[in-house]
């Protein structure tokens, strides 16, 4: 397919939920090609990757994490690598009935052919996909950097879900939200695993999907929502790890979960509980300006920004004006779980609750109302925490118990 693109990491090729492939909508039944294959890949909220003709996915079962490489067309196992791992992180507190196994989504580096995985218990590993997953290097972040148990936040109960962050490849570095004594963020040599720098910010790691690239007045940076702040960290030579800007943002139960969304030098942050808002922040080297704050929020789903509008799914789907924060439309009835992506034909695909799959019009064709084009009934009997994936004309839908369903959006 001329328009097929890999899905190499958290939230897709651009880490923003916007993809270069169409939804395949032609009227009638959707996904048009139906179910292609399904399989069990191990427990966890970790999302699949799609690289070339392979699916890479991390899951937990019976005391071990397994990295599986599957044929994208058939689901046939190509190779697997397994290592001992607990079901929860060593400091786990609260909500054990809602998650288990890895939450972090792996990161693939096309230059080296390496894939990087992070277990819930801080086991950071580098595997060579060109050598059937041969281990290249490893490091346990708890043991190496002394990440303590996350503290009680606000007036509510304590929560610690272990490591949830997805690593990010930037040049020769692998950037990881560590949260220990060496920095909220750390950069490692992607080939050797040697530590290169730690951020000046020393906040505990948050519970989001991890760092997101941002450029501020020509300065390359990443932003991350730690336990206490939105932190913008410099990546330019001579200033690696320095804080360019920060903005206080903490959520009861340590439940800042939705990953910040970036557009230019602006960042959207959102969470529930003591906030129940979504906030647009403008970042400059001089500080952070709050552009607007709107009385809508997401607890789980990371917002998608597209052509001046913002979308997310949490109990319903929201469409906001990015410039002002004004609500354009809201509709549908969903649960807490959910992820969404925006396709090349300018439609929104939502995976919600227990695997209900929706195809919606965006503001491009329906600027003022929620419009549902197609719906697929719940495919799971538990939460669809992992992020939805679209690559090579195939939709990859996974639940937290490790059931993976793969559909073709194109007619047979």
Spatial distance between the Cα atoms of 205 and 143, rounded to a whole number of angstroms: 15
pLDDT for 38 = 98
> Quick one: tokens of 57?
């996915």
* The dihedral sign for the CA sequence 232, 237, 241, 242: negative
In a domain, 331, yes or no: yes
In a domain, 2, yes or no: no
In a domain, 256, yes or no: yes
Beta bridge partners of 134: 128
pLDDT for 1 = 45
CATH number of domain containing 154: 2.130.10.10
Q: What is the DSSP letter of 127?
A: E
Strands 327-331 and 338-342: unpaired
In a domain, 28, yes or no: no
**What is the model's pTM?**
0.97
User: What length does the chain have?
Assistant: 412
The total of structural domains in the chain comes to 1
Nearest of 33, 11, 14 to residue 23 by alpha carbon:
33
Range of the domain at 175: 34-408
In a domain, 159, yes or no: yes
**From first to last of its 412 residues, what are the pLDDT tens digits of the chain?**
445 799 999 999 999 999 999 999 999 999 999 999 999 999 999 999 999 999 999 999 999 999 999 999 999 999 999 999 999 999 999 999 889 999 999 999 999 999 999 999 999 999 999 999 999 999 999 999 988 999 998 877 899 999 999 999 999 999 999 998 899 999 999 999 999 999 999 999 999 999 999 999 999 999 999 999 999 999 999 999 999 999 999 999 998 999 999 999 999 999 999 999 999 999 999 999 999 999 999 999 999 999 999 999 999 999 999 999 999 999 999 888 789 999 999 999 999 989 999 999 999 999 999 999 999 999 999 999 999 999 999 999 999 999 999 999 998 8
3-class DSSP state of 246? strand
In a domain, 373, yes or no: yes
pLDDT for 2 = 45
3-class DSSP state of 161? coil
Spatial distance between the Cα atoms of 288 and 93, rounded to a whole number of angstroms: 33
């Amino acid at each position: 397919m001329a328009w097929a693109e890999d899905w190499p990491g958290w939230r897709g090729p651009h880490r923003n939920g916007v993809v270069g492939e169409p939804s395949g909508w032609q009227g009638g039944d959707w996904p048009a090609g139906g179910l292609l294959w399904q399989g069990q890949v191990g427990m966890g909220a970790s999302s699949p990757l799609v690289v070339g003709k392979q699916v890479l996915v991390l899951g937990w079962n019976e005391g071990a994490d397994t990295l599986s490489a599957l044929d994208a067309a058939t689901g046939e196992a190509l190779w697997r690598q397994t290592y001992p791992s607990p079901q929860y992180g060593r400091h786990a507190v609260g909500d054990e009935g809602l998650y288990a196994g890895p939450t972090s989504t792996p990161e693939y580096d096309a230059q080296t052919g390496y894939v990087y995985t992070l277990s819930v218990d801080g086991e950071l590993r580098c595997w060579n996909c060109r050598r059937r997953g041969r281990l290249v290097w490893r490091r346990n972040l708890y043991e190496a950097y002394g990440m303590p148990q996350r503290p009680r936040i606000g007036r509510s109960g304590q929560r610690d879900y272990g490591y949830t962050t997805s690593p990010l490849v930037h040049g020769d570095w692998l950037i990881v939200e560590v949260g220990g004594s060496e920095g909220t963020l750390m950069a490692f040599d992607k080939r050797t695993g040697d530590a290169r720098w730690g951020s000046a910010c020393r906040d505990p790691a948050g519970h989001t999907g991890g760092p997101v690239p941002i450029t501020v007045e020509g300065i390359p940076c990443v932003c991350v929502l730690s336990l206490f702040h939105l932190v913008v960290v410099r990546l330019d030579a001579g200033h690696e790890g320095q804080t360019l800007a920060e903005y206080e943002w903490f959520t009861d139960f340590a439940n800042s979960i939705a990953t910040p969304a970036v557009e230019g030098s602006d960042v959207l942050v959102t969470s529930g509980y003591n906030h129940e808002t979504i906030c647009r922040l403008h970042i400059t080297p001089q500080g952070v300006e709050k552009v607007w704050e709107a009385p809508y929020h997401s607890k789980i789903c990371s917002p998608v920004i597209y052509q001046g509008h913002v979308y997310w799914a949490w109990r319903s789907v929201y469409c906001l004006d990015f410039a002002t924060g004004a609500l354009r439309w809201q509709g549908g009835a969903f649960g807490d779980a959910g992820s969404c992506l925006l396709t090349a034909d300018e439609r929104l695909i939502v995976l919600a609750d227990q695997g209900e799959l929706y195809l919606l019009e965006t503001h491009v064709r329906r600027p003022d109302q929620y419009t549902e084009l197609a719906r697929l009934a719940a495919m799971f009997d538990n939460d669809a925490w992992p992020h939805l994936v679209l690559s090579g004309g195939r939709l990859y839908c996974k639940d937290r118990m490790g059931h993976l369903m793969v559909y073709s959006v194109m007619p047979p």
